[in-house]
Amino acid sequence: KANRKAIIAGNWKMNKTATEAVELIDALIPAVKDANCEVVICTPFTTLVTAVEKTKGTNIHVGAENVHFEKSGAFTGEISADMLVDLGVEYVITGHSERRQYFAETDETVNKRTLAALNAGLKVLVCVGENLTQREQGVTEELVRMQTKIALNGVTAEQMANVVIAYEPVWAIGTGKTATSDQAQEVCAAIRKVLGELYGEAVAKATTIQYGGSMNAGNAEELLGKPDVDGGLIGGASLKADAFATIVAAA
């Protein structure tokens, strides 16, 4: 893992008003200040201004949870990559399984969002992962390979420096059911293999691959101890400063 950045990112989902976020960020700042990893909080759009302001001069980086792929125009309700960059937002999540499940996100739109974000200068946390049926059918690796390939279609080797892959088995998200560290390792290694095929060994070795899915203060150390698990994307446990800080300390 020597040349890879460990990244612990919180995904707040549709939680916390901007007003409520102040309290959480105030508690997070001292709790994660000695982190040995990169610390990111991905917040709702309405909280981004507050999050960027509050975290100025700290080691906490701010991300959005989604981005539209067009630069501007008649797309009511959508937010462009340039709008995020203009606010001082540094990261964005693409392809989260909740977007795929509830908002008709496809591999193709995940790819378009990823490209738009990278071209605007954002760093992107690209989510991939199988659902329970797919795992039971034994197609996890094949599916995750395909999701990764399509998401990265058109992304250059240089741009890969701004790409993080988050392996998130859908059956483990928000369910309290974590993948075993061996399961997480197996798929993260498979993803790194795909990156090697697409971009060569150097890029594959340098790319941060996170695990996400009910990672918490109790299981983070074991998961993060695996050779190809370079960090975590944290949902529920990112809403509590002490739990999130414990995960950060484990990275």
Q: Which stretch binds ligand PEP (CB under 6 A): 49-57, 63-71, 138-146, 230-238?
A: 230-238
Q: Is 218 in the site for ligand PEP (CB under 6 A)?
A: no
Nearest of 166, 176, 174 to residue 9 by alpha carbon: 166
From candidates 28, 63, 235, 248, binder to ligand PEP by CB under 6 A: 235
Radius of gyration of the chain from Cα atoms? 17
Considering 65, 98, 130, 168, which one is annotated as catalytic?
Answer: 168
Question: Shortest Cβ distance from residue 228 to ligand PEP (Å)?
Answer: 17
Active site residue 68: no
Give, as ranges, the residues between 141 and 200 that touch ligand PEP (CB under 6 A).
168, 173-174
Size of the site for ligand PEP (CB under 6 A): 13
223 in contact with ligand PEP (CB under 6 A):
no
130 lies in the binding site for ligand PEP (CB under 6 A): no
Question: For the chain, how many helices (H) and strands (E)?
Answer: 11, 8
Among 63, 129, 213, 231, binds ligand PEP (CB under 6 A): 213
CB atoms within 10 A of CB 36: 10
- DSSP H or E segment with residue 166: strand 163-167
Residue 174 known to bind ligand:
yes
Q: Is 205 annotated as a binding residue?
A: no
Query: Is residue 51 within 8 Å of residue 21, measured between CB atoms?
Result: yes
Which residues touch 3 (CB under 8 Å, ≥6 apart)? 205, 206
Distances (CA, A) of 119 to 111, 116, 128, 228: 12, 5, 21, 27
How many other C-beta atoms lie within 10 A of the C-beta of residue 4? 16
From 38, 65, 96, 105, active-site residue? 96
**Which residues are CB-contacts of 123 (< 8 A; sequence separation ≥ 6)?**
63, 90, 91, 92, 162, 163, 164
For ligand PEP, the binding residue among 6, 8, 11, 113 (CB under 6 A) is 11
Nearest to ligand PEP of 90, 98 (CB atom): 98
Is 214 flagged in the annotation as binding?
yes
Amino acid identity at 235? G
Is 54 annotated for ligand binding? no
The window from 78-86, 108-116, 140-148, 232-240 that contacts ligand PEP (CB under 6 A) reads 232-240
Q: Report in angstroms how near the CB of residue 156 gets to ligand PEP at its nearest.
A: 26
Is 90 one of the annotated active-site residues of the chain?
Answer: no
User: What phi and psi, each to the nearest 5 degrees, are found at residue 34?
Assistant: -100, 20
Where is the binding site, in residues?
Answer: 11-13, 174, 214, 235-236
Residues with a catalytic annotation lie at 96, 168
Query: Contact residues for ligand PEP (CB under 6 A)?
Result: 11, 168, 173-174, 212-215, 233-237
